[in-house]
Amino acid sequence: MPLARPAAAPTRRRAREPVAAVARRAAVRIRWDRVGRVGLLVTLAIVVCLYIEPALSILRTWRAERRQAGVVHQLIQGNASLERQVKSLNDPATIVADARALGMVRSGEKSYVVLGLPR
């Protein structure tokens, strides 16, 4: 059975170091895991900032499209109304009724004027 080695004793050099030197060496030590995390967070923040403006642009474009779709819908309804009006005005019965309202008579008809009617 091999003999167990005694636990390594601290070296004399470290034992003799002043406390301030040990604290200074600990303060200088870089924590690479924290540096990596901070670097990733900074990168994520930059990527998010780069996506904000395009996202806002898409939102503004979508809102403008919705407004324009409403305008187009109103114009389509107005156009349909005007087409019905044109069809109505081209109807011979409507033409005759409008002419009679203006006091016109057909050729060959006699027109009469009645005076003294109360308004």
Q: What is the pLDDT of residues 43-62, one digit of tens each?
A: 999 999 999 999 999 999 99
Q: Is residue 54 part of a domain?
A: yes
Q: Is residue 108 part of a domain?
A: no
Q: Is residue 107 part of a domain?
A: no
Q: Is residue 76 part of a domain?
A: yes
- Please give the pLDDT value at position 119: 79
Q: Is residue 35 part of a domain?
A: yes
Rg of the chain over CA atoms, in angstroms? 48
> pLDDT tens digit string along 17-35?
677 776 676 667 888 889 9
Q: Which domain holds residue 92?
A: 15-101
- Please give the pLDDT value at position 91: 93
Q: Is residue 84 part of a domain?
A: yes
Q: Is residue 1 part of a domain?
A: no
Q: Is residue 93 part of a domain?
A: yes
Q: What is the spatial distance between Cα 59 and Cα 65, in angstroms, rounded to a whole number? A: 10
* Counted domains in the chain: 1
Percent of the residues in the chain that have a pLDDT greater than 90, as a whole number: 60
Q: What is the spatial distance between Cα 6 and Cα 59, in angstroms, rounded to a whole number? A: 72
